[in-house]
């Protein structure tokens, strides 16, 4: 049977030299099976990569048919934002603790990747968010988020005040430590820690979760992902907006941030037999079946 993916890029988590051994094992395994293997230049040195070309991760979407991440969910988040414009699928190999997105354990890496390369996988499309920062009617920044867009108070420590609109309709004003606008993927991250709901990753929805609101009546709400969410900062010194916790922009009073679903979903490939609820049960230490 012909393999589906001919050009495969491998990415490993930074600052984890031990992962390079697993990365090179997988690279050689794929190359021996006939695939062209590319390696992210920040994941291995030229000496370690050997015959496998090193590429800039910003070029992955243009050069690869498939990207495999060895590491944790943080690495998956950064790669997901780069791949979304190109519709290149992503696989996560877990390197230690059970991750919400890196679901293939290291000891099953070779067998699972072989099966996926032959077309035996469960595809899952997940939404991303696109955010635009508008100041005095001019867009001054924009970014993608796979997990969440988070508005937070700054180092001054005081609460921020803001207004929220959905599809140009006023929803509420709020005084709090901030607001999380999360995708279903991000619903098990900061949103969950702040009391937000767990959303199945295939849902077409966006969750708005307050961070320590002054009024206890301010509760999380979930809206359709076709909606445009607008955040307007009315009062707050040193406030910021964060994208997946990996980049941020400073906010000024009366700044507006417009958030909508990004045009392309990200496709994650799971091994056959993957079960989202098994993952949740293990990660969150839920009870096992009694019978």
42 is catalytic: no
| Residue count (the chain) | 291
Hey, CA dihedral for 276, 280, 283, 286, is it positive or negative?
A: negative
How close are the terminal C-alpha atoms of the chain, in Å? 41
Q: Are 195 and 220 within 8 A, CB to CB?
A: yes
**Choice among 56, 59, 73, 225 that is catalytic:** 73
Instruction: State the virtual CA torsion across 249, 70, 40, 245 in degrees, nearest 10.
Output: 0
Token output for 268: 């994650």
Angle subtended by helix axes 17-32 and 109-117, to nearest 10: 40
Q: Are 230 and 181 within 8 A, CB to CB?
A: no
Ordered strands of the 229-235 beta sheet: 138-145, 129-135, 256-261, 229-235, 160-166, 169-176
Compute φ and ψ for 50, nearest 5 degrees: 60, -120
Own/partner long-range contacts of 91-98 (Cβ < 8 Å, ≥24 apart): 91/66, 91/67, 91/116, 91/268, 91/269, 92/68, 92/268, 93/22, 93/26, 93/68, 93/69, 95/13, 95/16, 95/19, 95/22, 95/70, 95/71, 96/72, 97/72, 98/279, 98/282, 98/283
Catalytic annotation, residues: 73
């Amino acid at each position: 049977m012909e393999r589906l993916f001919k050009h495969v890029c491998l990415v490993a988590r930074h600052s984890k030299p031990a992962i390079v051994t697993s990365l090179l094992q997988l690279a050689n395994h794929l190359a021996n099976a006939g695939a062209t293997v590319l390696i992210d230049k920040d994941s291995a040195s030229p000496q370690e990569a050997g015959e496998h070309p090193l590429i800039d991760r910003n070029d992955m979407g243009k050069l690869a048919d498939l990207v495999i991440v060895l590491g944790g969910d943080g690495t998956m988040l950064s790669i997901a934002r780069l791949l979304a414009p190109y519709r290149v699928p992503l696989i996560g190999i877990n390197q230690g603790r059970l991750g919400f997105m890196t679901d293939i354990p290291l000891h099953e890496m070779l067998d699972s990747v072989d099966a996926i390369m032959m077309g035996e996988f469960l595809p899952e499309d997940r939404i991303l968010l696109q955010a635009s920062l508008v100041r005095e009617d001019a867009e001054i920044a924009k970014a993608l988020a796979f997990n969440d867009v988070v508005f937070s108070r700054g180092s001054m420590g005081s609460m921020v005040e803001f207004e929220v609109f959905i599809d140009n309709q006023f929803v509420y004003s709020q005084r709090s430590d901030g607001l999380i606008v999360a995708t279903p993927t991000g619903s098990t991250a900061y949103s969950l820690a702040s009391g937000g709901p767990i959303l199945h990753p295939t849902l077409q929805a966006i969750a708005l979760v307050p961070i320590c609101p002054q009024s206890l009546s301010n509760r999380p709400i979930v809206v359709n992902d076709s909606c445009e969410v607008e955040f307007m900062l009315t009062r707050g010194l040193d406030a910021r907006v964060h994208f997946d916790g990996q980049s941020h922009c400073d906010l000024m009073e009366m700044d507006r941030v417009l958030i909508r679903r990004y045009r392309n979903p990200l496709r994650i490939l799971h091994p056959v037999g993957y079960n989202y609820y098994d993952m949740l049960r293990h990660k969150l230490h839920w009870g096992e079946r009694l019978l």
